[in-house]
């Protein structure tokens, strides 16, 4: 799956050491299927060559508004009209100030000013020293650019080339790529709050051992990313997994089923959609040893007793907000056999409008999935696809089912 297939992106470079990241960003854009037209300011050529960017983009680089390759000698018009988006990365403090005042004394600023504002979005990835970033003038300029319709992608924090540490670093190439993909996705959940659970739970026996399952959390994290791409404010409650938090998603880490329920109850009062993707343990040990349970040499195994964990999905589904329709609940059923039968029964038992079924052993830890959608109208089988593609399809299905204002 190429998230940017068919998209034409103008990648603008201004003066700054972060230009080295633009090379990786350009490569990432191309790998995702985009065609990339690089436009460089004179200052950016002090940090990276046009030859490098041409090699990575596969297209001639533009550096001057007087480029004779354009028959009408108007690259500032032609390049902007051909693009689906203009991304300036890195964008220096000086260039931000130039855009605010509508100055257009070289090709990149001229092109930004000449672009059709309602058709060609402008995205800005600032990059500068921490003091420059914090300066009131820069903050005013950033706010004005946002008011004028540009999208500010924010900055990273850490060690800077000048030797100082703080905010102002350009975001990494993979972060910018994820932000651009998200920006171009349909905003079917704009203004909605989405609460998602993901991964396994861990029910401790002692300080060393516990009971868990094979859930990797990948499906829930993919849904969190897809919901954020669709414009939602997303909270992800994650069991013990080793996955990076999707961009723009607020994450709450938990371990046990009871921990997860406590986190969910605190967030569900503000959510519009609840997606219970986590593989929550049905049972937990009745007792927990403060010390490691050790062998005593007799060969006798310890006797374990279990108690039932709270049913998180059923608890939320029975809440007043869910019963009134203010909270749309989606459940997941990971089965080992008879998927349609078990998934249908689970949806009715939980009392939820939509349930997603899959065969657990075929999806746990994998990068793809095959989902079965079960609602009051029946069963719909979706084709096997990457988990992110499945998540986007599910988000679209949820959006269609939400009550219209």
> Could you give the angle at the alpha carbon of 237 between the alpha carbons of 330 and 370, nearest 5°?
45
Kindly state the tokens that stand for 135: 């300066």
CA-CA distance, 109 to 126, in Å (whole number)?
Answer: 15
CB 266 within 8 A of CB 305: no
CB 24 within 8 A of CB 54: no
Q: Omega before 90 cis (within 30°)?
A: yes
Kindly state the tokens that stand for 225: 């990313």
| Whether 162 is catalytic | yes
Question: From residue 293, how far is each of 82, 286, 289, 307 by CA, in Å?
Answer: 67, 14, 7, 19
**CB count in 10 Å sphere of residue 259:** 16
247 closest CA partner among 390, 388, 358 = 388
364 closest CA partner among 344, 393, 341, 335 = 335
Question: Max alpha carbon distance in the chain (Å)?
Answer: 91
> Distance from CA of residue 318 to its chain's centroid?
30
Helices 218-229 and 387-401 pack at an angle, to 10 degrees, of: 50
CB 273 within 8 A of CB 226: no
63 closest CA partner among 124, 72, 54 = 54
CB 7 within 8 A of CB 33: yes
Kindly name the residue from 19, 26, 112, 162 that is annotated as catalytic: 162
**CB count in 10 Å sphere of residue 321:** 17
Q: Annotated active-site positions, please?
A: 162
């Amino acid at each position: 799956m190429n998230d940017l297939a068919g998209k034409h992106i103008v990648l603008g470079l201004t003066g700054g050491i972060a230009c080295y990241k633009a090379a990786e960003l350009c490569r990432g854009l191309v790998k995702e299927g985009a065609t990339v037209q690089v436009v460089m300011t004179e200052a950016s050529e002090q940090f990276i060559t046009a030859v490098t960017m041409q090699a990575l983009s596969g297209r001639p680089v533009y550096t001057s508004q007087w480029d004779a390759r354009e028959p009408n000698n108007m690259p500032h018009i032609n390049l902007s009209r051909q693009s689906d988006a203009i991304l300036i990365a890195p964008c220096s403090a000086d260039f931000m100030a130039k855009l605010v005042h509508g100055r257009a004394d070289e090709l990149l600023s001229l092109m930004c000013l000449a672009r059709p504002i309602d058709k060609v979005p402008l995205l800005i990835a600032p990059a500068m020293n921490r003091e420059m970033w914090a300066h009131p003038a820069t903050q005013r300029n950033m706010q004005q650019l946002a008011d004028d319709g540009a999208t500010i992608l924010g900055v990273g924090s850490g060690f800077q080339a000048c030797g100082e540490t703080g905010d102002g670093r350009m975001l990494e190439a993979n972060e910018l790529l994820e932000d651009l993909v998200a920006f171009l996705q349909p905003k079917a959940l704009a203004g909605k709050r989405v609460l998602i659970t993901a991964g396994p739970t861990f029910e401790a026996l002692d300080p060393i051992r516990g009971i868990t399952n094979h859930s990797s959390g990948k499906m829930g994290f993919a849904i969190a990313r897809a919901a954020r791409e669709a414009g939602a404010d997303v909270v992800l409650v994650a069991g013990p997994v080793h996955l990076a938090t999707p961009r723009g998603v607020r994450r709450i880490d938990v371990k046990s089923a009871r921990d997860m329920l406590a986190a969910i109850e605190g967030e569900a009062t503000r959510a519009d959609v609840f997606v219970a993707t986590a593989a929550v343990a049905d049972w937990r040990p009745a007792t927990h040893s403060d010390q490691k349970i050790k062998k005593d040499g007799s060969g006798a195994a310890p006797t374990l007793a279990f108690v039932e964990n709270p049913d998180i999905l059923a608890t939320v589904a029975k809440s007043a907000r869910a019963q009134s329709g203010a909270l749309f609940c989606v459940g997941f059923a990971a089965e080992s056999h008879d998927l349609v039968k078990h998934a249908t029964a689970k949806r009715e038992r939980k009392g939820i409008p939509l349930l997603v079924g899959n065969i657990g052993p075929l999806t746990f830890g994998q990068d793809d999935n095959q989902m079965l959608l079960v609602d009051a109208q029946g069963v719909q089988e979706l084709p096997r696809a990457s988990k992110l593609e499945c998540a986007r399809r599910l988000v679209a299905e949820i959006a269609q089912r939400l009550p219209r204002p």
